[in-house]
Amino acid sequence: MKKLLIVNASKRRKGNSYTLENRIVEQLAGKAEVNTFHIGEKDVRVCLACDACKRQHTPNCIQKDDFTALIPALDSCDAMLILAPVHWDQFPAQLKALLDRTYSFMAFTQPDFSMAGRKDKKLGGYFFAGFGPVDVYTNMVETNLKSFATAGFREYKAHVAGNANVPGSILEKPEDLKAADEMIEWLLA
Ligand SMILES: Cc1cc2nc3c(=O)[nH]c(=O)nc-3n(C[C@H](O)[C@H](O)[C@H](O)COP(=O)(O)O)c2cc1C
């Protein structure tokens, strides 16, 4: 069974990221090994930019918090799905903190700049926006997803569902649900 890591960066337990997460977890029961990480309930601090990870030549970070346990999960999954809101036209701060911490996988001495054990993992970014513009946000999400290559996620796809302020409204949007189903299918192929 493929291992899917779901990183949920919303603080709204009844919001659309959680609504979609619940649907996906239900759909994948018995079909994939799903591991969820709810950043909104975790302590993932900002990168100290201390470069200690560069001196010890491992993806481990000397800062011990909830990112510590995520490092092996990031490294061993087959695919990661990020579910998140757009905040002020960008990644929400808690997700940006997580992205910054993947700097611990960066190796300046490697030809591909990566200390990741696996470099064949897929990444999906499924974002919710209250309004839009959805095309501009999709570019923003893709730009950020690209940076996860250092942690071994070399292929990525993004989708942004607009007009998503109402909690649970994703369930009434066939086009956005289809995009989610296609993303899951691609992640686990
Ligand atoms: C701090 C904050 C900033 C936001 N900024 C934007 C924004 O720039 N553009 C937008 O379309 N929606 C924005 N929103 C609305 C959320 O993206 C929207 O409600 C989204 O559906 C929330 O997803 P969730 O239900 O999974 O938490 C913002 C919401 C918050 C709380």
In this predicted model, what pLDDT tens digit does every residue of 126-137 receive, in sequence order?
999 999 999 999
CA of 136 from ligand 1 middle (Å) equals 14
Instruction: Indicate the pTM of the whole model.
Output: 0.98
* Minimal-distance CA residue to ligand 1 atom 12: 130
Q: Residue 109: what pLDDT?
A: 87
Q: Is the CB of 82 under 6 A from ligand 1?
A: no
Q: Is the CB of 165 under 6 A from ligand 1?
A: yes
In this predicted model, what pLDDT tens digit does every residue of 69-124 receive, in sequence order?
999 999 999 999 999 999 999 999 999 999 999 999 999 888 889 999 999 999 99
Q: Is the CB of 8 under 6 A from ligand 1?
A: no
Enumerate the domain spans of the chain.
3-188
User: Which distant-in-sequence residues (6+ apart) come within 8 Å of 86 by Cβ?
Assistant: 92, 127, 128, 129, 130, 137, 140, 160
pLDDT at 57 over 90: no
Architecture of domain 3-188: 3-Layer(aba) Sandwich (3.40)
Q: Is the CB of 129 under 6 A from ligand 1?
A: yes
